[in-house]
């Protein structure tokens, strides 16, 4: 039986090496080089090609390469009988905390504008608010959203969080459900999206939402590109409804060269690097789930298809 690695846009050799270091007896194959599709019972996948996953008749389970699983849940080729799981790594949380804190400080202290000024040789001091006077809103209070909210509160920002169900977090003003979303947005100046991608959250970052934020405001999206309606963001920026956006994820990746985001100074683009899974950190989880799957046992970090995470 073999373990298959699928990630068309990545070099999977380090992943194969990390898994073999965990268990040298593993039979690991890297797509598209598969000797016999019937031997594949477990796969690790990221952004797999369409109409691929149903071509392995004995597939029992598939693991995401990271915390996100929308690329699997949204794949109609994945049979209902296949169990979906994900990986959980402490460094993913730490990396996300670092990235978000860095973006918030850059926005609060006008560092983006100072970089632009340096490029044209302009010396101009800008006023900035104190951290306590900046209303931060976190959409999503799960395994990434909760620690991000806690860190920002510890630094001194005024932090609110919104989630599908009620949460209690020290020093964070929490909101839950559709009815409480407008109140949450109304006190937010910097909105950070850390939601899982589900049918309910798809396209949630739209013009109607932008209009409910405080003015001025910024959007930070580090969840999934499909949360954002691209054309609505452009309109909101051009109309002065929001001041800027800091984006690490996109509807299409890599972001096409001719995309409008490249030409907007008030949109910061990073290439999906906010939180990157390290092979050596999660190899043991993948190997354990592979063996549990072969034994017909319950997998760790199993995903509930109904709720999307």
In the prediction, which pLDDT does 306 show? 79
* Mean pLDDT calculated for residue range 132-145: 96
Q: Give 234-267 pLDDT, tens digit per residue.
A: 999 999 999 999 999 999 989 999 999 999 999 9
Point out the residues that are catalytic. Answer: 224, 272
Instruction: Please say if the pLDDT value at position 298 is more than 80.
Output: yes
Instruction: Please say if the pLDDT value at position 305 is more than 90.
Output: no
Going by pLDDT thresholds of 50, 70 and 90, the confidence category of residue 124 is very high
Dihedral angle of Cα 51, 271, 83, 49, to the nearest 10 degrees: 10
Mean pLDDT (the chain) is: 95
Instruction: Provide the pairing of β-strand 135-139 with 40-45.
Output: unpaired
Q: Give 81-93 pLDDT, tens digit per residue.
A: 999 999 988 899 9
Instruction: Provide the pairing of β-strand 244-247 with 267-269.
Output: parallel
Instruction: Please say if the pLDDT value at position 152 is more than 80.
Output: yes
* Mean pLDDT calculated for residue range 4-19: 94
Q: Give 56-81 pLDDT, tens digit per residue.
A: 999 999 999 887 888 898 898 899 99
In the prediction, which pLDDT does 240 show? 97
Closest CA to 43 of 68, 63, 71: 63
Q: Give 153-201 pLDDT, tens digit per residue.
A: 999 999 999 999 999 999 999 999 999 999 999 999 999 999 998 889 9
Question: Which tokens in the block code for residue 183?
Answer: 């109140």
Instruction: Please say if the pLDDT value at position 95 is more than 90.
Output: yes
Q: How far is CA 276 from the centre of its chain?
A: 10
Residue 238 neighbours by CB distance under 10 Å? 10
Question: Which tokens in the block code for residue 112?
Answer: 């983006």
Question: Which tokens in the block code for residue 98?
Answer: 């670092």
Of the two residues 232 and 276, the one the predictor is more confident about is 232
Segment holding 30, helix H or strand E: strand 28-30
Going by pLDDT thresholds of 50, 70 and 90, the confidence category of residue 300 is very high
């Amino acid at each position: 039986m073999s373990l298959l690695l699928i990630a068309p846009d990545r070099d999977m050799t380090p992943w194969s090496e990390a898994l073999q270091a965990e268990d040298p007896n593993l039979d690991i194959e890297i797509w598209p080089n598969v000797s016999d599709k019937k031997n594949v019972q477990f796969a690790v996948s990221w952004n797999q090609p369409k109409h691929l996953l149903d071509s392995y008749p004995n597939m029992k389970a598939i693991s995401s390469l990271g915390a996100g699983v929308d690329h699997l849940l949204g794949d109609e080729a994945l049979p209902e009988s296949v169990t979906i799981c994900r990986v959980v790594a402490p460094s993913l949380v730490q990396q996300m905390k670092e990235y978000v804190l860095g973006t918030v400080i850059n926005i609060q202290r006008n560092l983006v504008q100072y970089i632009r000024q340096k490029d044209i040789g302009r010396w101009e001091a800008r006023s900035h608010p104190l951290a306590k006077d900046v209303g931060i809103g976190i959409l999503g209070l799960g395994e990434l959203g909760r620690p991000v909210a806690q860190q920002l509160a510890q630094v001194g920002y005024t932090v609110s969080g919104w989630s599908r169900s009620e949460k209690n977090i020290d020093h964070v003003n929490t909101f839950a459900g559709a009815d409480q979303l407008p109140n949450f947005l109304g006190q937010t100046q910097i909105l950070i999206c850390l939601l899982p991608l589900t049918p309910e959250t798809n396209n949630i970052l739209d013009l109607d939402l932008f209009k409910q934020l405080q003015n001025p405001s910024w959007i930070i999206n580090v969840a999934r590109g499909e949360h954002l309606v691209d054309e609505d963001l452009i309109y909101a920026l051009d109309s002065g409804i929001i001041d800027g956006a800091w984006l690490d994820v996109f509807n299409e990746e890599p972001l096409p060269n001719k995309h409008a985001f490249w030409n907007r100074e008030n949109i910061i683009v990073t290439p999906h690097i906010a939180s990157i899974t390290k092979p050596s950190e999660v190899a043991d989880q993948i190997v354990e789930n592979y063996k549990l799957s072969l034994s017909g046992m319950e997998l760790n970090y199993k995903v509930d298809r109904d709720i999307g995470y």
